[in-house]
Amino acid sequence: MSRLTCWAVLGLACGAGTAAAQSDGGAAPAWRPADAAPFPPQTRTALEAAVVEARAGGAGEGLSVAVLHGGQAWLEGFGLATVTPPQDATPTTSYRIGSLTKTFTAVAALRLAEEGRLPLDADVRTLVPRFPPRAWPVTPRQLLGHTGGVGWYRSPKDAWTTAPTTTAQALDLFRNRPLVFQPGTQFLYSSFGYVLLGAAVEKAAGEPFAAHLERTLWGPLGLSHTGLEADEKTQASRATGYRLEKGRLEPARLLDLSSRFSSGGLRSTAEDLARWAHALLARRVVREATWREMTTPGVTSWGEVTDYGLGLAVYPVRGRKVLAHSGGVPGASALLLLMPDEDFAVVLLSNLQGQTGLMELAVDLSEVVLDGGLPQRGWYSASRADEVAFDGMRRVVSHGLVRYADVAPPAGAEVEAAFTAVDHLFAPWWLAGAPEHALAALRDAYHPRAGRVSAVAGAEMARLLAARGLSPAGYRLGGPAQLFADYARACAEAPCPYPLSEDVAAYARRLDAEWRGTPPELLRLRRESLPAATGLGALLAALEARPSHVDLVEDLTRLAWAQRAAGRLEDSRATLRQSARLHPASPRAALALAFGAALDGDVLTATVRLEEAAALGRGAGALTRESVKGRAEALAVHATPAAARVLDGLLAQAKLLLPSAEALRAARLAGPMHAAPGAATPAARPPPPAAAPRAPGTP
């Protein structure tokens, strides 16, 4: 059967034939998680251990999980869907899914575009005249990619509607506000933009939003419990929504979701979203060309990549292309993560709003299935230049491996120019003399405006090493300098067109040797195995004498909280102190000490440690008051009343000491990647060292 015929039989991407395909009795049955093979017992045990470890110290809220990989599936529920009376969470528990709704809206709009009914590049007013004229047209394509200039919630009142709302009333909440920038020039995530897009879908389809999605997507795919909150199909097995209030689960405040029907108004289950993830991975919902548009990061007119395609965030993780969307509304948190090249997906649904750690858990689960459970750890060094170099090399490796695997990569610099730029960006004197500026330049190197030079050079390194018998996939688990060092070695053994400069090659060899000098037991240690690791104390003590080593702050912090939960208070304190000794310049290690002191009820020490963390975190490593708030609320769940009061005080102090995430974002927007085209680089950021272009094959 051809793909086109298969689409027609399934009622997908087939326009007017959809209804007939559903009603003639000949449609192929929709895929079900029950049709998938189970993971091997060892993998299931490891997946469950990762979830249990991530939930340690939690308040008992519900979490429903689905993991898919290569024809295998694992679905499970943890905790309570409702606390009183107790009701367990299961894969069929119904949750609000927040902004995961946008993935459905995007597919609905794109399918209508395929049928010629929703022009992506026309003014959206051709479909939604209720949206007043602006100085510039706003297109559905821009709304899909959050570059349309439609604003965000200005205040809690903007986001808080408690009565049923029609599409027209939802538009009236923002339609008369001016655009916040010229469409196409910037990226600003906007739920209002997706409400406008939902209105366009209704007009193009000639039917209400939910009715259209039921007829064309949910019905054919067997998503029998996905729909608007008011729909009858979403009433069964609902989770009660909660928020954390001083460490206790309290019912979420009332919010009617109909005003965000197409941006965050749906409910679903882990089982239904597993079906959705499977359909996306199997390319069953849109044509191949459309899928490629969906999963290619957008680019602003100023040449900055947005890390968001059309309805999905798109970025590399460990050299793999990741598609993801999170969702958060009162009473729920959600995450969908796809790795299409690996045929891998994770769905996480929680009935706790503001749930922190879902992305970390999703990555942990991917590491269990794809990487043997080995986490990707960073590098800590007393030399800030070395830390920056490791971070930059990791970006070159990750972006490069994704580009290497891409059959049609986006335009970038010529390979020779990319290697010239890499030699400049990793010049040792530049890294040592201005490490924060070097870090900013290395991060900017990913953008089209800079020629995507990090990705272009990384892909070429992977290509040459593959041609010489080394698998690029092997560099996902090693230190980031390994690819650079192996590439330099390969070019020394046999001439290559684009060798690294000797300075950069020598730097990479030294960093690679330091990484390889880390005890292999630590590099291979899975996080859930940390509490029972043999000889861990001796291994960590040996690292204290080294100025550079693998970054273990997250591992040791998790271990400390697990020890505290088990009543081993002295062990927990000792673990936090050891983490701080190993990472004296780490703001995260200092913050963990602050939290540990707060849990001990020690106000003075907690405040001093928070001040240290704030001072260490200036610049690129800045903590935010939101990140402190999330961890403090999680720790407060099992805190004593005295400790809870100290945590409250710590939060109040954090508001004075730490910037908000919005303030950090504004600071980033002031950087050169966001300056007007042709604007001068700010004087505060010196340019990287310049060098004359080199001829291919010359050092």
For residue range 157-211, list pLDDT tens digits in order. 666 788 899 999 999 999 999 999 999 999 999 999 999 999 999 999 999 999 9
Asked whether residue 224 carries a pLDDT value surpassing 90, the answer given is yes
* Structure confidence by residue, pLDDT tens digits, 375-431: 888 889 989 999 999 999 999 999 999 999 998 899 999 999 999 999 999 999 999
Average confidence (pLDDT) over 107-124: 98
Average confidence (pLDDT) over 559-569: 89
Query: Which domains, and CATH codes, for the chain?
Result: 51-369 (3.40.710.10), 379-518 (no CATH), 556-666 (1.25.40)
Structural tokens at position 336: 């969908």
Query: Could you tell me how far CA 451 lies from the centroid of its own chain?
Result: 24
Asked whether residue 674 carries a pLDDT value surpassing 80, the answer given is no
Distance CA 417, CA 368 (A): 38
DSSP letter for each residue of 220-286: HHT-TT-EETTSGGG-TTBPPPEEEETTEEEEPPP--GGGGTTTT-EEE-HHHHHHHHHHHHTT-SS
Whether omega before 677 lies within 30 degrees of 0, making that bond cis, reads no
Structural tokens at position 350: 């929680």
Average confidence (pLDDT) over 26-46: 88
Which pLDDT score, from 0 to 100, does residue 102 have? 98
Do 357 and 348 meet the contact criterion of CB atoms below 8 Å apart?
no
Asked whether residue 624 carries a pLDDT value surpassing 90, the answer given is no
Model confidence band, residue 56 (pLDDT cutoffs 50, 70, 90): confident
Distance CA 458, CA 440 (A): 18
How do strand 37-38 and strand 72-78 relate by DSSP bridges?
A: parallel
Backbone angles phi, psi at 647, to 5 degrees: -60, -40
Structural tokens at position 318: 């460990």
Q: To the nearest whole number, what is the mean pLDDT of the chain?
A: 88
Which pLDDT score, from 0 to 100, does residue 442 have? 94
Which pLDDT score, from 0 to 100, does residue 27 have? 55
Which pLDDT score, from 0 to 100, does residue 8 have? 27
Do 136 and 362 meet the contact criterion of CB atoms below 8 Å apart?
no
Query: Could you tell me how far CA 29 lies from the centroid of its own chain?
Result: 33
Do 87 and 81 meet the contact criterion of CB atoms below 8 Å apart?
yes
Which pLDDT score, from 0 to 100, does residue 6 have? 33
* Structure confidence by residue, pLDDT tens digits, 337-374: 999 999 999 999 999 998 888 999 999 999 999 998 88
Distance CA 106, CA 112 (A): 10
Distance CA 61, CA 287 (A): 39
* Structure confidence by residue, pLDDT tens digits, 427-477: 999 999 999 899 999 999 999 999 999 999 999 999 999 999 999 988 988
Nearest to 189 by CA among 304, 69, 312, 92: 312
* Structure confidence by residue, pLDDT tens digits, 242-251: 998 878 899 9
Model confidence band, residue 617 (pLDDT cutoffs 50, 70, 90): confident
List beta partners, residue 267: 96, 227
Q: How many residues does the chain have?
A: 699
Tokens 């080394």 belong to which residue?
A: 470
- Assign 523 to helix, strand or coil: helix
Burial class (CB in 10 A: 0-12, 13-18, 19+), 135: exposed
At position 466, the amino acid (one-letter code) is: A
Asked whether residue 10 carries a pLDDT value surpassing 70, the answer given is no
Lowest mean pLDDT among 522-536, 587-601, 643-657: 522-536
Residue 455, Cβ neighbours under 10 Å: how many?
30
Distance CA 550, CA 234 (A): 47
Model confidence band, residue 668 (pLDDT cutoffs 50, 70, 90): low
Which pLDDT score, from 0 to 100, does residue 379 have? 87
Structural tokens at position 380: 């800590």
Model confidence band, residue 628 (pLDDT cutoffs 50, 70, 90): confident
Which pLDDT score, from 0 to 100, does residue 11 have? 33
Which pLDDT score, from 0 to 100, does residue 7 have? 28
Lowest mean pLDDT among 125-129, 140-144, 299-303, 355-359: 355-359
